[in-house]
Structure 1
Amino acid sequence: MSKINKVVILGAGNLATQLAIALHDASVNIMQVYSRTMQSASILAEKVNSTALSDVKNLVVNADLYIFALSDKALQPVLDQMPIPIGDVVHTAGSIPMDIFDDYTECYGVFYPLQTFSKNRKVDFSSIPICIESNNLGLQEDLMELAERISTNIHLIDSEQRKQLHLSAVFTCNFANHMYSIGQKLLAEKDVDFDLLKPLIKETAEKVQELDPVSAQTGPAIRFDKEIMTKHENELKDLPDFQKIYRFVSESIFTMHSEKK
């Protein structure tokens, strides 16, 4: 029998919203939703049949787990307002060590879903990696059981591994999406529809499901085709920031593949 059935969600942003909905759909009782603004808390609370609040001093004291799904910069200020001691707690951050909870409670951990989230785009949690860490074996087992209710992809990952995982995710998700934004802007200048790139984006993502990324690399930079690269850089002469990105990334690609040989 699971020991985690009553949960409080602290946060109402992208991750908090999708995690709360997934847990609610798995029959977990979301007792309360906290947000700095009552409006944000209320919007999420309504979706998961919960109670909204904007003051942590009004948190219930009998929850099985308090999930801090807050931005990195918001976590410490909210913790400083919490009643001490508090119950079992976890955070969902990729770059914050587990021991941030040291002075606040005895049992704590991390419940880190590795995915990009948006409030209004529901995701299928069943394949999302959920990275678990805890200072307490009993809580670790409970967190793994909770994770198994929403995902089949559970991993025990310590704080150092998670920090590197988060850094890698910034490159593979946030930076990759920024490249899409640059591509969209370049096409818009010539009145070309960004949808033309979507099959290419899809194939690029699908290819690394079968090949390692280094083997999947293509393009002029891998062979350092100076003629094509110079033409591209000249086309970017009025966009110096993009030109710098093009040059730097191209050199990085060439260097990585030169080292592979």
Structure 2
Amino acid sequence: MPLKIKLNRLHYVIQAAMGWTDSHLYEFRAGGSGWGVPDPDGFYDGPMPASKTSLFDVIEDVGTKTLHYIYDFGDNWHHVIKIEKIDNAIAGAAYPRLVRAIGACPPKDVGGFPGYADFLEAMAGPRHEEHGQMLEWYGGQFDPDEAEIGRILDNFERLAKKWAPKPRKPKAAPKRLGSIRRARGLRRMLTHKANQAMVLPQGSRAAQLLNAAAIASCFGVDQFEFQRIVDRLVGSIVEH
């Protein structure tokens, strides 16, 4: 994943990899500082906003490549995240990318590490007194060695599409005096008014200005420039 990823998005990546549902609070910790979801009411001093801090910020400001990720303060899942290698991005690749996956994710709300150990023991022994109960609670068999790589890849692909840069919208053309239809109507009106006043001599100054005004109205010149042409046209007609 890119170093510029915000910590709240890193949280989503971990959730997608583990197969959890982002149903509990979380916190990243490093160098005595914490980042997570601050108390919206400000009643207590919680972690700093994870949405405003990137992984690169933590590496640079704290000076460490090891982060602690705590999820579900009841079950208290404590993960140690180590940045082993920083490399150049692969051109055209979508991130996050899966490098390797080993073992299954503990079920949600299983009771933390002690509860997970009890769960594995009960699921592994058909004669265990809690085997049937755990089997029903989980909803089927559980293989602690199955990493479900297909699920992880699907989740990562969904995040990559969600976070992909949106294509830039083309800049709107500058507004003109009006549409082509309106401009043509204005040209016809000017020609009609001029013909009502007089027949302009071929090549006269007024005829040239009238032609300039017609062209300007078609191509939508600046409003003030167009008004200047019209004013000169009217003045020329009056002089004749």
Fold similarity call, TM over 0.5: no
- The TM-score with structure 2 as length reference comes to 0.25
**Structure number with higher helix proportion:** 1
**Higher normalized contact order (CA 8 Å, seq sep 6+, divided by chain length):** 2
Greater Rg over alpha carbons, structure: 2
